[in-house]
Amino acid sequence: MEPQSSGGTTSEARWETARTDDGVVVVARFHNPPLNYMTGAGLTRFGELVEEWADPEVRAIVIAGGEPGVFITHFSVEELLGSLGPMAERGPELNYRVHAISTALNDLPKPVICALNGDTMGFGFELALSADIRIGQRGDHRYGLPEVRLGLIPGGTGTQRLSRAIGPAAALDLLLRGRVLDPEAALERGLIHELAEDALATAERLAATLAGYPRTALAAAKRIVYQAADLPLASALRMEADAAFRAKVSPEAAAAMERYLAVPPAERRAWLEEGA
């Protein structure tokens, strides 16, 4: 991968992006040593990156931390504390910005994978919850939303995404206690999808695999899950039927089914399993 200058930041916080040689997978790594606190400038640049990833040539995205042992620890408390005066006048402007970026990430018609290669708390974990797939990394790391310990609550979609991911009761247990979990406990509770010795390498391999899948089907599956989550079942099923039909009649689907039929029957289960 060839690194590209991220630009657009005014502090130590910066995003470094790189593409695979074929250009279809983007890896974005956040740097703000030593603890990788997110900042306003870093958030602004991330919003710009999400817009850039709408490029049809990009088929999958991986987000990771760029400092040893850290994904994103949390949002800079120094910056939050210093902005309390102006924030009181402007209202929840920062929260709305985060909500918009999170929604834009969900609206991307391609997989977004977070490689939680270190401590991931507060805003960092909210960002991870906004991704489609979360891969944790074995080690002495902590994941979670400890905001109540600082007199705050997760305001960057965290309360809602957490409760939708694991249910209200389980979410309240974590939120009210301000609990943070090690990677194994996070996997057991359903906060992450997979544990790996090297989360970034695993995420990159998965992104390369998904980038080779028919893009119409991936986009449809992602869209229907996010858009129909809060609809009555009958309405959601109508959306599913329409999305399934559109995927089925796409040229990519016909080509993929023909590839499957070309596999000897005795090898087809292995072929289906291989992509997972």
Judge contact between 36 and 30, C-beta under 8 A. yes
Give me the catalytic one of 79, 126, 197, 274.
Answer: 126
Cα–Cα distance measured from residue 274 to residue 276, given in angstroms and rounded to the nearest whole number = 5
Give me the catalytic one of 2, 51, 147, 267.
Answer: 147
- How would you classify the pairing of strands 143-144 and 2-4? unpaired
DSSP secondary structure string for all residues of 188-201: HTTSSSEEESSHHH
Q: Report which DSSP code applies to 33.
A: T
Residue 227, class by beta-carbon neighbours within 10 Å (0-12 exposed, 13-18 middle, 19+ buried)?
middle
Instruction: Measure the CA angle with vertex 273, ends 265 and 242; round to 5°.
Output: 90
User: Does residue 126 have an active-site annotation?
Assistant: yes
Residue 196: what are its φ and ψ, rounded to 5°? -140, 155
Cα–Cα distance measured from residue 101 to residue 106, given in angstroms and rounded to the nearest whole number = 9
Upstream peptide bond of 86 is cis (omega within 30 degrees of 0): no
Using CA atoms, how far residue 13 sits from 32, 41, 62, 94, 218, in Å, is 4, 7, 18, 17, 32
Catalytic positions: 126, 147
